[in-house]
A = this chain, B = another copy of it.
Amino acid sequence: MLTYAESTAIQSDFAARYRAVRTHSEAICAGLETEDYVVQPTADVSPPKWHLGHTTWFWETFVLLPHAPDYRIFHEDFSFVFNSYYETVGKRVLRTDRGNLSRPTVADVYRYRAYVDAHMHRFLENADLSLLESLIDLGLNHEQQHQELLVYDIKYILGHNPLFPVIAIPLTPVVLVSALALPVAVSEGVYTIGVQDTDQFHFDNEEGAHKVYLNAFSAEPSLITNGDYLDFINDGGYQNFRYWLADGWAWVNTTHANAPLYWHRVEGDWWCYTFEGLQPVDPAEPVCHVNYYEAEAFARWRGQRLLTEFEWETAADKLGWGQRWEWAQSAYMPYPGFTTAEGAVGEYNGKFMSSQMVLRGASVATPAGHSRHTYRNFFQPDKQWQFSGIRLVSTHGK
Chain A residues near B (Cβ < 8 Å): 33-41, 49, 77, 80-81, 85, 87-88, 93, 97, 99-106, 157-158, 160-163, 165, 190, 210-213, 215, 241-242, 244-249, 292-293, 296, 329-334, 336-337, 351-355, 357, 381, 398
Contacts and interface: CB of A to CB of B under 8 A. Distances in A.
Given A162-B80, A245-B354, A351-B245, A103 B210 contact: no
Given A213-B211, A246-B85, A354-B247, A103 B241 contact: no
Contact of A37 (B35, B85, B103, B353): B35
B160 A353 contact: no
22 contacts: A34-B35, A34-B106, A35-B106, A36-B103, A37-B102, A38-B102, A41-B97, A77-B162, A88-B242, A100-B161, A101-B161, A102-B157, A103-B161, A103-B163, A103-B165, A215-B336, A246-B354, A247-B354, A247-B355, A331-B333, A355-B355, A355-B381
Contacts of A93: 162
A215 B335 CA distance: 11
A103 B35 contact: yes
A85 B247 CA distance: 12
Copies in the complex: 4
Given A103-B33, A351-B244, A355-B381, A162 B81 contact: yes
Interface centre among A210, A336, A354, by most chain B C-beta atoms within 10 angstroms, is: A354
Contacts of A354: 245-248, 292-293, 296, 331, 357, 381
Given A36-B102, A41-B97, 6 more contacts: A39-B99, A39-B100, A101-B161, A102-B157, A245-B353, A331-B354
B102 A39 contact: yes
Contacts of A35: 34-35, 37-38, 49, 102-103, 105-106
Contact of A105 (B33, B77, B331): B33
Contacts of A242: 87-88
Contact of A210 (B49, B97, B215, B293): B215
A213 B213 contact: yes
A37 B87 CA distance: 31
B163 A246 contact: no
Contact of A333 (B106, B157, B330): B330
Contacts of A190: 190, 213
Contacts of A165: 103
Contact of A102 (B87, B161, B246): B161
B160 A100 contact: yes
A120 B157 CA distance: 34
A264 B211 CA distance: 45
B357 A249 contact: no
A240 to B, nearest CB: 9
Contacts of A212: 212-213
A39 B332 CA distance: 35
A136 B9 CA distance: 73
A255 to B, nearest CB: 16
Contacts of A85: 246
A132 B351 CA distance: 47
A336 B334 CA distance: 20
Contacts of A97: 41
Closest 9 interchain pairs by CB? A331-B331, A41-B100, A35-B102, A211-B213, A246-B351, A36-B102, A355-B355, A87-B241, A34-B34
Given A39-B39, A87-B249, A99 B102 contact: no
Chain B CB within 10 A, most for which of A88, A246, A334: A246
Contacts of A398: 337
A80 B357 CA distance: 35
Contacts of A101: 39, 161-162
